Amino acid sequence: MTSATDQPRRRAAFPPNWRARIGFVLLALYVVYACAHMGVSLERLQVGMEHGQRFLARMFPPNFGRWELIVSGIVESLQIAVIATFFGIVLALPTGFLAARNLMPVWVTWPARALIALCRSFHPIIVAIIFVKAIGFGALAGVMALIVASIGFISKLFAEAIEEISLKQVEAVRATGAGFLSVLIMGVLPQVLPRFIGFSTYQLDSNLRNSTMVGIVGGGGIGATLFTAYQRFDFDVVLAILIVIVAMIMVAEVISTWARKVFQ
């Protein structure tokens, strides 16, 4: 008698992964629990869909009638993004150098890294709130908040890029008797410049996105216009502003892709 147990067990080509399955079940259970905790229910979703339909109906067609307001807001957002990116880069360069562990001693890198962690951990909106309190409403508060965000992002990636460079070129420059600054400019900078341009253009995109939002807490830019339109229930103006924001960011992405190609 040949039963199934006598035969050698067939090896499955694709064995089931029980750990992953249990993990997915646990994740699904968590989602259900969290939704219950947050008071999410089908009923609320249904009511929300009705609201959503009315909301969308009021959004169309987009109303570009107040275009002067939209243009001035967008221009201010652009100004905030450009200025914040510039000063962010200027301040991130030295911070990044100081945080690179292959060029600097530990007692220098440690405080620099702490500063970077501090700049990165707060969302730009929270930083903007603090600056609005310190220097009042207006574009400057937005600029300062985005400078802090830029320092955190660029110097972290810049320090990592410097830590990955080849030290051979640095040694070659040093062997010619160059001073510390010359070593940086001739040995380190050419190796990291393409990546640095990459981070900077990426940060410009990111600052542009965030500059559309700092206005909600009083930091200037299109966000203030958007928030006012929202509070007045002028949802058609809100849609017009959103369309302009998306278009602006698409253009900015095309430009930064071009810049990255040029500096490759």
Partner 1 sequence: MTVVEQLNRDWQRFTPLRRLSRFAFYLCAVAALVASLRTIEIIPEFLYDAPEQMVDLVQRMVPPDWSYLKPTLDALVETLHIATVGTVFAIFMAVPIGIMGASNVTPNGPLNLLAKFIFVTSRSVNSLIWALLFVAVFGPGPLAGTFAIAFRSIGFTGKLFAEALEEADKGSIEALTAAGASRPSTFIMGYWPQVRPAFWSIALFRWDINIRESAVLGLVGAGGIGVALDTAMSLLYWDQVAVVLLAIFIVVVLAEIIVTSVRTKLI
Q: How far is the CB of 162 from partner 1 (least distance, A)?
A: 20
Q: How far is the CB of 242 from partner 1 (least distance, A)?
A: 6
- 134 belongs to the binding site for partner 1 (CB under 8 A): yes
Q: Which of residues 233-252 bind partner 1 (CB under 8 A)?
A: 235, 238, 242, 245-246, 248-250
Nearest-angstrom CA–CA distance, 150 and 92: 8
List, as one string, the DSSP characters of the chain.
Answer: ---TTTSPPPPPSS---HHHHHHHHHHHHHHHHHHHHTT--HHHHHHHHHHHHHHHHHHPSP--TTHHHHHHHHHHHHHHHHHHHHHHHHHHHHHHHHH-TTTS-HHHHHHHHHHHHHHHHS-HHHHHHHHHHHH-SSHHHHHHHHHHHHHHHHHHHHHHHHHTS-HHHHHHHHHTT--HHHIIIIIIHHHHHHHHHHHHHHHHHHHHHHHTTGGGGT--SHHHHHHHHHHTT-HHHHHHHHHHHHHHHHHHHHHHHHHHHHT-
Nearest-angstrom CA–CA distance, 178 and 185: 10
- 121 belongs to the binding site for partner 1 (CB under 8 A): yes
Measured from the CB atom, the residue of 1 and 262 that comes closer to partner 1 is 262
Measured from the CB atom, the residue of 96 and 218 that comes closer to partner 1 is 218
Q: How far is the CB of 161 from partner 1 (least distance, A)?
A: 18
Among 65, 71, 102, 123, binds partner 1 (CB under 8 A): 123
Q: How far is the CB of 105 from partner 1 (least distance, A)?
A: 24
x/- mask, partner 1, residues 77-106, rule CB under 8 A, reads -xxx-xx--x--------------------
Q: How far is the CB of 250 from partner 1 (least distance, A)?
A: 6
Q: How far is the CB of 2 from partner 1 (least distance, A)?
A: 30
x/- mask, partner 1, residues 19-58, rule CB under 8 A, reads --------x--xx--xx-xxxx---xx--x--xx--x---
Half-sphere exposure (CA, 13 Å, Cβ side) for 208?
22
Among 138, 160, 174, 191, binds partner 1 (CB under 8 A): 138
Nearest-angstrom CA–CA distance, 30 and 40: 13
Q: How far is the CB of 126 from partner 1 (least distance, A)?
A: 6
- 153 belongs to the binding site for partner 1 (CB under 8 A): no
List the one residue out of 202, 198, 189 whose CA is nearest residue 162. 189
* Sites of contact with partner 1 (CB under 8 A): 14, 27, 30-31, 34-35, 37-40, 44-45, 48, 51-52, 55, 75-76, 78-80, 82-83, 86, 117, 121-123, 125-126, 129-130, 133-140, 143, 209-210, 212-213, 216-217, 223, 226-227, 230, 235, 238, 242, 245-246, 248-250, 253, 259, 262-263
